[in-house]
Amino acid sequence: MRIVVSGGAGFIGSHLTDRLLAEGHRVVVIDNFITGSRNNLSQHEGNDRLVIIEHDISKPIYLAEKVDRIYHLASPASPIDYQKLPIQTLKVGALGTHNMLGIARHHKARILLASTSEVYGDPEVHPQVESYWGNVNPVGPRGCYDEAKRFAEALMVAYRNAHAVDIRIIRIFNTYGPRMRLNDGRVVPAFISQALRGEPLTLFGDGSQTRSFCYVSDLVEGIVAAMERGDQNPINLGNPAEITIRQFAETIRRLAGSTVPLVERPLPQDDPRRRRPDITRARTLLGWEPTTSLEEGLRKTLEWAKEAIR
């Protein structure tokens, strides 16, 4: 197939591109490198089944050659990135999604939106099921990201209803692994680089908030399964193993063989208290669930980070 990956030079997008190329597909990555990097795809240099187009998808783009699938991942994703880039984040969720849907409609291609657990905001339902509508503060620091993704989901549904576009919506929960930017501010690269550099691990608040971390290769399996075997309703993708951020810091410190202290820093406004996916739908519809344990995934990520830091 000929497959478009918007945001294909980012963390998840580059792993997805690896996977699609390995399966023999032709891949067109569209990325403006605002939070990603060409280096994430340098392993494919010379592969004529990969085309990289440098373009801001919030501006229209026309692709003449037939497209079969569109994985729409382009968007700043780390809280530091999207708070630095609030307008670009809202534009890519709205205009960027509109432009990708335009390509899908033109080519009768199936399109998958990478949405997020952030559509549930600071959730009052736990674990989060797809039928939950969420608890989002539109004017808080996370509003630009959460509302962009909520709008993007609504636009996908509008194109399905108005133009019969074949849609997929996945809601990705915290995912980690090699190629995260070590300074993107997310908790995995933050703790790993602090531990490896011998700096204190910065716990926001008292570290009692929870997250559930999915290793990137598991997620990529789920993304492809959702595209090929999913239906048109949202599907949570993530690892349901929930852990407090304090326990998570202690785990990383132990695996890194470090003895640095944990220090508390102010908890950012609207930081979700608890997050854990209910993946019943992904299990039953896709036959998918994560298989990489947290320790195994963190060991692989630490190995990669040691090289990246050098």
CB 148, CB 95: distance < 8 Å: no
User: Applying CB under 6 A, does 297 fall inside the site for ligand UDP?
Assistant: no
How far apart, in whole angstroms, are the C-alpha atoms of residue 101 and residue 264?
44
User: Applying CB under 6 A, does 16 fall inside the site for ligand NAD?
Assistant: no
How far apart, in whole angstroms, are the C-alpha atoms of residue 263 and residue 170?
35
Q: Which helix (H) or strand (E) holds 220?
A: helix 216-229
How far apart, in whole angstroms, are the C-alpha atoms of residue 73 and residue 286?
20
User: Applying CB under 6 A, does 217 fall inside the site for ligand UDP?
Assistant: no
User: Applying CB under 6 A, does 9 fall inside the site for ligand NAD?
Assistant: yes
User: Applying CB under 6 A, does 237 fall inside the site for ligand NAD?
Assistant: no
Q: How far is the CB of 152 from ligand NAD (least distance, A)?
A: 9
Q: How far is the CB of 211 from ligand UDP (least distance, A)?
A: 5
Range 177-196, binding ligand NAD (CB under 6 A): none
- Which of these ranges, 88-96, 122-130, 151-159, 199-207, lies near ligand UDP under the rule CB under 6 A? 199-207
In this structure, the chain runs to a length of 310
Q: Which of 4, 5, 12, 136 binds ligand NAD (CB under 6 A)?
A: 12
Residue among 103, 96, 108, 187 nearest 149 (CA): 96
List residues with catalytic annotation: 145
Number of alpha helices (DSSP H) and beta strands (DSSP E) in the chain:
10, 13
**CB 62: neighbour CB atoms within 10 A?**
8
Q: Which of 3, 5, 32, 107 binds ligand NAD (CB under 6 A)?
A: 32
How far apart, in whole angstroms, are the C-alpha atoms of residue 81 and residue 186?
9
Judged by the rule CB under 6 A, the positions of this chain that interact with ligand NAD are 6-7, 9-13, 30-36, 56-58, 73-77, 92, 96, 114, 116, 172, 174-175
Judged by the rule CB under 6 A, the positions of this chain that interact with ligand UDP are 79, 174, 186-187, 190, 202-204, 209, 211, 245, 268, 271
